Chain A
Amino acid sequence: MSPHEMDDALTPDERALFAALPRERNPGRLLEERTLRALRERGLVHAAGKPRRIIRFHPGWLTGAVAAGLALFLGGLATGQYLATRNVGEVVAAVQQHDQRQAAQLVQQTGSAYVQALASLSQASNTTTGTQGQQGREVASSMLRAAADEVVRMNPNDPVATGILAAFDRAGARERAAARPDTAAKQSVVWF
């Protein structure tokens, strides 16, 4: 027994006082209704006579569900094994063909979007400030150059793409020359 307990035991009078305290108190009917309402709102209690609908599974249904699940699992397993043992070359070729088709579609879609965006820029250039139009043209040019680079990488002899890149090179040379003090007055707009 700790010193606390020895010094602190209740006297008989104190015990009697505590024993006389009421142990129960009824809060009233309103609280019961309020609590029930809160439970009903949470779906934890249902009105008398309306028991909660519980889905009870018939044993036959459960057996069927287990069998179906098993069949699905085994089917997946068999398919996986079949795919794994197929000729790998065929699979790779099919995947590559599929990828190429997808990539071509992507180029077509983004190319259309690029042209549409340029058309919009062209129309907007009439109304927007000079700086914004200039920025738009610069972005359009760099995109065009990047696209031409990719085409040349795919086909180094492509006449259109090589022509575009040559024009960019010529324009770059002109800009550098125009940037020099002695040639500052030269034309700075490039047409191609």
Chain B
Amino acid sequence: MRTEPAPAPDRALADALLLDGDERAFRELYQRHTPRLFQVALRVVGGCEHDAEDVVQETWIKATEKLGTFRWEAAFGTWLTGIGLNVARQLLRKRGRWVELDAAPEPWRPPPHDGERIDLERAIALLPAGYRTVLVLHDVEGYRHDEIGEMLGVSAGTSKSQLFNARRSLRQALEPAKGRMHEPA
């Protein structure tokens, strides 16, 4: 019986890319990590596929440029996601859609209710960029507050407070369609 060879670890591929500019190594890394990166980027930029594609491309360029500085203390995917978040933030900032997370709570008003059901994905996309980013990282991707703080350059406390506001706003957005998701104690 013929068995498939074990996939090369990220580090071996990254070394081949760094030392030899190996295209095959890049393609394998790209195909391994891009689906997740693209999904995170898509949610963080608010659902615009074109923007998410730009974020993914720029993230890979920056990651390849900085590959020599990566110390492999974290998983390659986590490092890549961190770069992707910074790229996405730069893009949102350029468009005036990013408010610094240490600043006051972002102004937000729930969308007008027209009786249509708003699904969770749509409700996330409607959140202000800062809330959305923290919510996606914590509740969807499962990162801890200290990891989010490190990725976004804020304290873990700021991340917690942003998540609190994000969840409250999300519940308001979903309320008319689904009924109240969470009654405070």
Contact = CB atoms under 8 A, between A and B. Distances in A.
| Physical interaction between A and B | yes
B35 A11 contact: no
A35 B20 contact: no
Contacts of B120: 17-18, 21
25 contacts: A4-B164, A7-B164, A7-B185, A8-B163, A8-B167, A14-B182, A18-B120, A24-B39, A26-B35, A31-B38, A32-B30, A35-B57, A35-B61, A38-B61, A39-B26, A42-B61, A43-B21, A44-B64, A45-B22, A45-B26, A46-B23, A47-B23, A52-B19, A52-B20, A52-B21
B134 interface: no
Contacts of B19: 52, 54
A85 B181 CA distance: 91
Contacts of A45: 17, 21-23, 26, 64
B163 A31 contact: no
7 interchain residue pairs of minimum CB distance: A24-B35, A52-B21, A46-B21, A4-B164, A25-B39, A51-B20, A27-B38
A164 interface: no
Interface of A: 2, 4-8, 10-11, 13-14, 17-18, 21-27, 31-32, 34-36, 38-39, 42-48, 51-52, 54
Nearest to A14: B181
Contacts, number: 107
B150 interface: no
Given A4-B160, A4-B164, A35-B57, A25 B35 contact: yes
B38 to A, nearest CB: 4
Q: Main SS of chain B's interface residues?
A: helix
Contacts of A38: 57, 61
Given A31-B57, A45-B21, A25 B164 contact: no
Interface residues of B, number: 41
Interface centre among A11, A14, A27, A38 (most CB of B within 10 A): A27
Nearest to B49: A27
B182 A10 contact: yes
B23 A54 contact: no
Contacts of A13: 181
B42 interface: yes
Given A26-B38, A45-B23, 8 more contacts: A8-B167, A10-B167, A14-B181, A17-B120, A35-B30, A35-B57, A44-B64, A46-B21
